Amino acid sequence: MIRVQAEAFDVGAEIAAFTRGTGRVGAVATFTGLVRDYLGDRPEGAPPVRAMTLEHYPGMTERQLERIEAEARSRWDLADVLVIHRVGRMEPGEPIVLVCTASAHRAAALDSCAFLIDWLKTQAPFWKREETPDGDRWVEARASDDDAAKRWNQCS
């Protein structure tokens, strides 16, 4: 299931609801992404990020996330998938993204969870804008994210 929402979400409650067992599921893997107060290691004296605004492309975002979920389900035998991604303004420490995968065994759950977040970072149309005391700035894409996605041999 894919959810794109402006509202904050409770990571613990979401994982608890996702984990509620069917008996067939032996493994649940989760990834939670949080808003940081600086991209990378904050140099001495550099201003912290006060907040971040997530912009997206309504329609294409959901479409891409559904594709990513379908791709994960085609590669691994998954009992369930949940991706929640927030949009709008949020402050450091708040959850921005949650990926949960459920499978019979741990390897499929762990690998598909890593795949989903790696793919999401390069294939879903979201853009981060940081607010700092020195003004706002758009966050630049990182080559390391492209490298992380490439290890899954993405073909799109």
Partner 1 sequence: MKVLYFAWVRDFVGTGQETVEPPAEVATVGDLMGWLAQRSPGHARAFADPAVVRCAVDQDFAGAEAPIAGVSEVAFFPPVTGG
Binding footprint of partner 1 on the chain (CB under 8 A)? 33, 54-57, 59-60, 63, 85, 96-97, 117, 120-129, 138-141, 145, 156
Please identify, using beta-carbon distances, which residue of 54 and 108 lies nearer to partner 1.
Answer: 54
Minimum gap (Å) between residue 104 Cβ and partner 1: 27
Coil, helix or strand for 91?
coil
Listed as own residue / partner, the contacts of 66-71 with beta carbons closer than 8 Å and 24 or more positions apart are: 66/2, 67/123, 68/116, 68/119, 68/120, 68/123, 68/124, 69/2, 69/116, 71/115, 71/119
Please identify, using beta-carbon distances, which residue of 109 and 117 lies nearer to partner 1.
Answer: 117
Q: Are strands 78-86 and 2-5 parallel, antiparallel or unpaired?
A: parallel
Minimum gap (Å) between residue 121 Cβ and partner 1: 4
**Owner of token pair 């607010």:** 131
Please identify, using beta-carbon distances, which residue of 6 and 77 lies nearer to partner 1.
Answer: 6
CA 13 – CA 119 distance, rounded (Å)? 25
Minimum gap (Å) between residue 34 Cβ and partner 1: 11
Please identify, using beta-carbon distances, which residue of 15 and 148 lies nearer to partner 1.
Answer: 148
